[in-house]
Structure 1
């Protein structure tokens, strides 16, 4: 990487490893874009339009507010205006670099974590989108769960551990990101697993059913049908690990309105979700919950024992399940639903096999993650 550019992955690493005290992230996008989606801990000086015109007057007026003794990572949409701002700052004595490809690059970052709390699971986190996927492995074999469209990340993770990928699974038909599962399975000539209720018009799908297992080395990945977020949502048990997909998050649950947003349909789906959560919360307290998304949780890997999750007060919707209060659960979901994930209808059509991804497929999933119910 050029000495005038920051690799987005390096920015993510420094933030994740608590090295961000020596890194000041300056976001020069317009305020609305920044408020919608940003790098945690960044500072916004909304001068994007000015920088397009090579106007540095507002930036010059903020120089006294910027640190002279700290590296500055300047970010914009695609790395063009941030490069201009970083050059201007260097000319004024600042150690400033542009984040390569801007927030577009940030959205493609993937970070790997071996989950020490359980055996045989690698968690792959996308800090820019809140998406989480997994490599469940035993012996020399692995199954990939919920991969992004950047399939090389999973091939590399397997190669680094001398693992052979023997299957690829989606916990459901995703609405927030384009799945790479079919492509990865096709490239490797291994089965692609998905519950039939979420298969849409897809071909070459090995349909999952409740209670079935997927062999991984000498172990099994057990399928639990947990509908609600989607009709075909599943969770996977792998030893004491629960890959909970978009059914159960650490601070919320999966929203039930992305198939049909009419109130009656949402209430019915929320009721099914309540039943699914009752099933999951009946598992052993030592079960390690590994969700398919996160919001602003900073722990890595993203993992919490079910007993601890039930005892905490940070997941309001789960507390209703603990209290067996389905009515309050459904009402809270109906009242608290926020904006849907960006481009979710188009993404769903691609993941159902009804549309082919176009040249803008990477841009479709950029933005905040809105898959949680509240």
Structure 2
């Protein structure tokens, strides 16, 4: 049986997880790789078996014993980094009667899975589309009104997708915006602009961080017109100093400020020494600016975690009223909030310093290098609430 016949595409796996179906995974990467970047995003049960242990079992003619551990009729998805070792394992398990499939191109293929859902929310007459990258939880947004569109927090890997999707809706991209200088993925603002007539837009505070490419700068309360809709900039520092959210109707596209399960981590710009000051700024931003908005405001974040559940429209969003009730952090006094935000933060995103330099335009990488830099989880949130 050929490897093609036992391959499962990343998009098919993502669809299975979105449908809420249970997925049983056999991860044959080394344990440290598996622990650092597990396959998640739904009801996943993972068993670890490093590939070398599989080879040893094969040499001892013990594959049948291994297969017996999974012999319950349930499909097993075998994964590795590139889909090569896992293909060998999946084929061997199938020869022993298991319904085993190989995740095509491994976790690198998983990182190319991308899905879009339309928000069911009042957005000043505009259509807002949320892009979901299950491998990292990164979210981006396309705002379409009439024959114009804007993309917010685009990923470089998918630059062509935003241009094509806007045109599929009979619109041209007018703006490509970032909410802040990202630390977990390579921004696609410049690449989207190169592929369209879109204007690059970044928060004005990015210049203080060393912005090294030409872009239109936006400050607090500035407005950008997209067709008949208006994007209002809202300075919301805390995760970074320049963080800027965009309001369109009742939707707040807030970057890495407030998520459906937690709040932003405060240490990626200034490191450990400046994290406490940034955490206090984050508390002020949330209480003086964001929580002053109406409860029906739909918060559309820049990330979602494995514990997040999509709404009925398929998007990872929540009303501000729901978040007030759900997140204890939003009712904390400042000192308690700071302790919470600084405690039990996950590891910093892979290669975050080089990614920041690239996103500021002070470093240059090609498309393949950019893709490799951002592989892994996003880790932009503080510990889950």
- TM-based fold match above 0.5: yes
Partner of 2:144: 137
Which is worse superposed, 191-200 or 169-178? 191-200
Q: Indicate which of 13, 21, 24 corresponds to 2:15.
A: 13
Runs of 4+ in 1 over 3 A off after TM superposition: 50-60, 67-71
Tell me if 1:341 matches 2:349.
yes
Q: Determine helix, strand or coil for the equivalent of 2:299.
A: strand
Q: Which residue of 2 aligns with 1:27?
A: 27
* Contact residue 34 and residue 44 of structure 1 kept, 8 A: no
**Does residue 1:350 correspond to 2:358, yes or no?**
yes
TM-superposition CA deviations, 1:238-271 (whole Å, max 9, x none): 10001011111112111111111143x2122112
1:45 corresponds in structure 2 to 48
**CA-to-aligned-CA distance 1:93-123 (integer Å, 9 cap, x gap):** 2232211110111122111111113442100
Counterpart check, 1:148 vs 2:155: yes
CA root-mean-square deviation:
2.0
Structure 1 residues 179 and 52 mapped into 2: Cα distance closer, same or farther (>3 Å)? farther
TM-score by length of structure 1 reads 0.92
**Cα distance in 2 between the residues matched to 1:328 and 1:115:** 34
- What are structure 1's unaligned runs of at least 5 residues? none
The change in CA–CA distance for 1:248 and 1:309 in structure 2 (over 3 A counts) is same
Aligned 1:162-311 pairs, distance under 5 A: 162-199=170-207, 200-263=210-273, 265-278=274-287, 279-296=289-306, 297-299=308-310, 300-311=314-325
| Whole-Å separation in 2 of the counterparts to 1:9 and 1:204 | 36
- Following TM superposition, by how much is the alpha carbon of 1:29 offset from its aligned partner in structure 2, in angstroms? 1.7
Q: How far off is 1:276 after superposition?
A: 1.4
**Are the counterparts in 1 of residues 144 and 166 from structure 2 also a CA contact under 8 Å?**
no
Report the count of equivalent residues: 365
Change (3 A) 1:144 1:59: farther
Rounded to whole Å, the distance in 1 between the matches of 2:57 and 2:199 is 52
Deviation string 1:169-226 (CA, Å, 9 cap, x unpaired) is: 0000000001111111122132111012124232221001100111111110110011
Deviates more, 1:65-74 or 1:289-298: 65-74
Q: Offset of 1:68 from its aligned partner? A: 5.5
Q: 1:124 to 1:156 in 2, by over 3 A?
A: same
Counterparts of 1:319-334 in structure 2 under 5 Å? 319-320=331-332, 325-334=333-342
Secondary structure of the 1:62 match is helix
Does the aligned pair in 2 maintain the 1:73–1:99 contact within 8 Å? yes
* 8 Å CA contact retained: 1:176, 1:365: yes
Residue 233 of structure 1 and its aligned partner are, at CA, apart by 0.4
CA distance in 2, matches of 1:191, 1:234: 17
Shift of the alpha carbon at 1:236? 0.7
Question: Residues 31 and 44 of structure 1 are in contact (CA less than 8 Å); yes or no, is this contact kept in structure 2?
Answer: no
Q: Distance in 1 between matches of 2:162 and 2:116?
A: 10
